[in-house]
């Protein structure tokens, strides 16, 4: 297991790395070599065998990029692109999906009376493989489409693949945006340091104080659904909706904050998604680097919205989200989660198309619009919450049993005070953060406060992190993808 931001050992690691990094007197060549070595130490900390995997991916895609760029005007360039993309996807498939697909195939064949015995292959799982595989695929595709040139410096390319703040759970960076930052001389000042510290602290607070505490209280529910009332089941699903947001947006905050200390800006991965008024808006604000990747490298190549037939547009979106669900994990529950969101997006497109025709030339009342916006938000939030049930449940069967329990009132309506208190506290915190961020149009919400107030807030956050860090620890949810 690689190092993670929420472990105490990460603090001395980071302090050593950043001290040497800036001690190299802004010599970009040596800074990049140092950060690459540090990233490999970070990734191989728990198992050095992981290094063979990421280095192998780096070497193969480095040379494929050079060859695609060299033969870009020839058919050979397209062939090389196909070969490396297939290689990367097969690599991802073997480590992440081989056992799942083999087991599913055997179960399907058994329906027709054929019996096979299969022993699962216990392969080491490369943490973060889905993220860095998607990065190298976009790198090669962008070279082929002449959006960028191939990177000749192997160290530079290695940093693009393995830069440790984004290595475990993204964001999924594009080479054309990331590589210029590590090849140019870095700039850092007091404002950048302040921004980096604030983002890191907020992210750690979300993870340790919000996500990990919720995780501890709701874990038993998913292994013993029958023992809970329908009302508690509904509240617990809402708590997981908050947990996964605090967990993943917390990681993204920390990744961006830590990167700023190196003079590097990562893309924004979350932009208050739970304030969205429809599912299309939600996916423009949730895991932005993935949704934009799926749009550019899957949805658009399938035809995107350019298709004349609306049915084809709906189909393209549906396929994209289904494969997006599969990207998240090797399980029927993840596929169904993607299918559900694909269905949501299709219905949203149909509704928006109908509303656009209906509202042509009409003037809306402001109060009516506010009420309509609230209802749209409430519906969207609950639709997303329903889909998260499939994401969190250990299987599709358990997810369906949870939904049945909620809608049929199995177990009665009997609320546990603890779950309601947790929901009230953590929803206030997370929605409070989001509303402040939207109002200020930035993620560093404490920037304009007096330095004394800032210091007091930071002290409270740090104390709470230290207290709850001893209470419970859980890995980042998206580190498993």
Is the pTM value of this prediction over 0.85? yes
Would you state the pLDDT for residue 365?
Answer: 61
- What is the distance between the alpha carbons of residues 249 and 392, in angstroms, rounded to a whole number? 17
Specify the residue for token string 């970070």: 42
What are the mean pLDDT values of the chain's consecutive 10-residue runs (481 residues total)? 86 96 90 96 90 95 96 92 95 81 70 66 81 96 95 96 94 96 89 94 95 93 90 94 96 96 95 95 96 93 76 87 89 92 92 70 60 90 96 93 89 79 94 92 88 93 87 78 77
Indicate the domain borders of the chain.
Answer: 10-185, 191-358+371-480
Cis-peptide, bond into residue 171, ω within 30° of zero: yes
Q: What is the pLDDT of residue 455?
A: 92
| Active-site choice (287, 328, 341, 443) | 328
Q: At what angle do helices 154-162 and 129-144 cross, to 10 degrees?
A: 130
DSSP 182-223: HHSPP---HHHHHHHHHHHHHHHHIIIIIIHHHHHHHGGGGG
Residue 443 falls in the annotated catalytic set: no
CA distance 14 to 264: 15
407-439 burial by CB neighbour count: b if 16+ within 10 A, else e? Answer: eeeebeeeeeeebeebbeebeebbeebbeebee
Phi, psi of 420 (to 5 degrees): -65, -40
pLDDT at 119: 61
Q: Which residue has the tokens 């302090």?
A: 15
Distance of CA 355 to the CA centre of its chain: 31
């Amino acid at each position: 297991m690689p190092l993670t931001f929420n472990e105490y050992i990460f603090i001395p690691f980071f302090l050593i790395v950043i001290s040497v990094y800036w001690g190299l007197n802004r010599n970009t060549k040596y800074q990049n070599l140092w950060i690459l070595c540090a990233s490999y130490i970070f990734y191989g900390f728990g198992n050095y065998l992981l290094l063979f995997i990421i280095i192998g991916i780096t070497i193969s895609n480095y040379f494929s990029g050079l060859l695609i760029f060299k033969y870009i005007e020839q058919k050979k360039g397209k062939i090389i692109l196909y070969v490396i993309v297939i290689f990367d996807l097969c690599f991802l498939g073997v480590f992440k999906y081989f056992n799942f697909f083999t087991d599913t195939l055997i179960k399907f064949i058994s329906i027709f009376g054929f019996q096979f015995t299969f022993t699962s292959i216990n392969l080491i799982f490369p943490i973060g493989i889905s993220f860095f595989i998607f990065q190298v695929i976009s790198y090669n595709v962008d070279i082929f489409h002449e959006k960028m040139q191939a990177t000749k410096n192997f160290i530079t390319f290695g940093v693009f693949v393995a830069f440790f703040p984004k290595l475990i759970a993204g964001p999924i960076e594009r080479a054309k945006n990331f590589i210029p930052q590590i090849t140019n001389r870095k700039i850092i000042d007091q404002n950048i340091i302040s921004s980096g510290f604030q983002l890191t602290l907020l992210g750690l607070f979300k993870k340790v104080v919000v996500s990990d505490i919720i995780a501890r209280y709701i874990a038993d529910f998913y292994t013993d659904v029958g023992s809970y009332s329908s009302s508690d089941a509904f509240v617990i699903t809402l708590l997981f909706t908050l947990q996964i947001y605090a967990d993943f947006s917390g990681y993204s905050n920390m990744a961006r904050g830590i990167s700023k200390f190196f003079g590097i800006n990562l893309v924004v991965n979350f932009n208050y998604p739970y304030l969205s008024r429809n599912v299309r808006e939600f996916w423009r604000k949730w895991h932005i680097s993935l949704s934009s990747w799926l749009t550019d490298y899957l949805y658009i190549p399938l035809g995107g919205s350019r298709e004349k037939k609306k049915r084809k547009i709906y189909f393209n979106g549906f396929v994209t989200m289904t494969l997006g669900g599969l990207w998240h994990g090797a399980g029927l529950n993840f596929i169904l989660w993607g299918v559900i969101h694909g269905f949501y997006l299709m219905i949203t497109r149909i509704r928006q198309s109908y509303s656009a025709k209906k509202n042509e030339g009409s003037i809306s009342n402001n109060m009516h619009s506010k009420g309509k916006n609230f209802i749209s938000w409430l519906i969207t939030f609950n639709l997303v919450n329903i889909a998260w049930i499939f994401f969190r449940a250990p299987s599709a069967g358990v997810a369906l049993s949870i939904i049945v329990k909620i809608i049929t009132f199995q177990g009665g309506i009997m609320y546990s005070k603890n779950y309601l208190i947790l929901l009230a506290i953590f929803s206030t915190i997370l929605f409070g953060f989001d509303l402040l961020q939207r109002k200020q149009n930035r993620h560093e919400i404490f920037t304009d406060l007096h330095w004394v107030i800032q210091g007091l807030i930071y002290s409270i956050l740090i104390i709470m992190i230290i207290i709850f860090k001893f209470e419970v620890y859980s890995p980042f949810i998206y580190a498993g993808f």
